[in-house]
Amino acid sequence: MSSQQEALAQMDENETELVSEFPPPPMYYQQADQLTPPPIPTEALARSTKLAVQQRWAKEIEEKSMFGGGNGGLDSMPDFDEELSNINEVGPTVNIFGQEGSYVEDPDLIPVKHDCHDPQEVKGEVSRLNNEILKGFISLLGDLVNRPLDNEQSKKKLMENIELMLKECNKFREHQAREVLIETLEFQMRDRRRALEEIKKQIEKSAVAMESLERIQGKNHC
């Protein structure tokens, strides 16, 4: 038996051992690909985003009032785009972990108000927060198993990290848009260069054909 065949046989044995440690999936899993997923609750998500922004704005005013006095220059509610402005605040919402008063935010509906000139720094922060969120989910699962009635701290920390990562992702949107624009312009430039080369080739072929035609006509006149 060759070394490659031995390696494949070893992989098959390992896979068999790994699979045998887990119970088979329920029978209804076979029907999962036939199900139609429910529609995305677009209006409820927009309403949740608006309420979350208002909630964060009120929290910022409270914190600034406690430490600096007054409202810290936050005189009015944050500006919403047209889609959020027209959303009625009364109605169904999308809540984090189903917890009342904690709303899921749609990053695409939140205006970008951050100046960031180093996308690598934002990328690093998003990566760090993503790791913290993964650890937070593991910690929350541990609390749900071992302390079902005492998981508020884990949920709070996890929600804070999710909110921070959404903010960092919003910062990165402007850099992503710039990269997409650069890529589009470069593609258009390459496309134009290919078209120009094709036109030059056609002109050269036409010139050769004209020279041949002129030579034939010259011979006929002779």
pLDDT in tens, 119-167: 777 788 888 888 999 999 988 888 888 887 777 788 878 888 887 887 7
With respect to residue 76, please indicate whether it lies within any of the assigned structural domains: yes
| Structural domain range at position 71 | 34-109
With respect to residue 89, please indicate whether it lies within any of the assigned structural domains: yes
With respect to residue 7, please indicate whether it lies within any of the assigned structural domains: no
Average pLDDT over residues 11-17: 48
Taking only the tens place, the pLDDT of each residue in 56-78 is 777 777 777 776 655 545 455 55
With respect to residue 194, please indicate whether it lies within any of the assigned structural domains: no
Average pLDDT over residues 41-55: 79
Q: Could you give the CA distance from residue 114 to residue 167 in angstroms, rounded to a whole number?
A: 9
By the 8 A CB rule, do 43 and 6 touch? no
Give the per-residue pLDDT at 5: 56
Give the per-residue pLDDT at 205: 85
With respect to residue 14, please indicate whether it lies within any of the assigned structural domains: no
By the 8 A CB rule, do 119 and 137 touch? no
By the 8 A CB rule, do 53 and 104 touch? no
- Structural domain total, the chain: 1
